[in-house]
Amino acid sequence: MACQESVLQSSDELKHENIVRVRDAWIEQPEARECEDECDRVDPEALIEFVNDETQRTDRIRRNLRLEQGLKFFIVMDFYKEDLKERYQREIPGRDETVGYIYQIASALQCIHNKGYVHRDLKPRNIFVSEDNKLALGDFGLCKRVAEGDRNHGSAGTPPV
């Protein structure tokens, strides 16, 4: 999940004001060590090529990462004070603010769809609210690149409650 997320969000391919921007990402092996010198840094451009290569599948990346005992994946992203679920639990926004939220998320979705991706896990917990009340779509762990005209994306995401 995190591997694909950092690749997509750290690349210029999905640069958009309403998409969470990943600033850095790295993988640490099980043994404790200093990140500055010894962590395996993720090269976003090389991984983007790997993820987009039709013969390599993103779920294969996730499967391989899960098999590594104790492997830790770190991402550094912009700070968000809360997610949309927390925002609505704290206080229900007014009509105008809600319409603004809908526009911001639709804009982010249009960006990823125009680039040939489907998010597949859109929910309030994956939409983040900044200090200035702007929304950003995040958690691209189940995101999938689809071929033009392909309508069969399969089932993914968190089951609705």
DSSP symbols for 105-136: HHHHHHHHHHTTEE----SGGGEEE-TTS-EE
Pairing of strands 127-129, 135-137: antiparallel
- Convert the pLDDT of each residue in 77-104 to its tens digit: 889 999 999 999 999 999 999 999 999 9
- pLDDT of 89 reads 96
The one-letter amino acid code at 58 reads T
In the predicted structure, residue 157 carries a pLDDT above the cut 60: no
Are the C-beta atoms of 153 and 124 separated by less than 8 Å? no
- Convert the pLDDT of each residue in 5-32 to its tens digit: 445 554 667 889 999 988 887 777 765 5
Q: Mean pLDDT throughout 140-157?
A: 70
User: What spatial distance separates the first Cα and last Cα of the chain, rounded to whole Å?
Assistant: 22
Bridge partners, residue 19, by sequence: 137
Bridge partners, residue 82, by sequence: 129
In the predicted structure, residue 108 carries a pLDDT above the cut 70: yes
Domains, the chain: 2-145 (1.10.510.10)
Are the C-beta atoms of 113 and 107 separated by less than 8 Å? no
Q: What does pTM read for this prediction?
A: 0.66
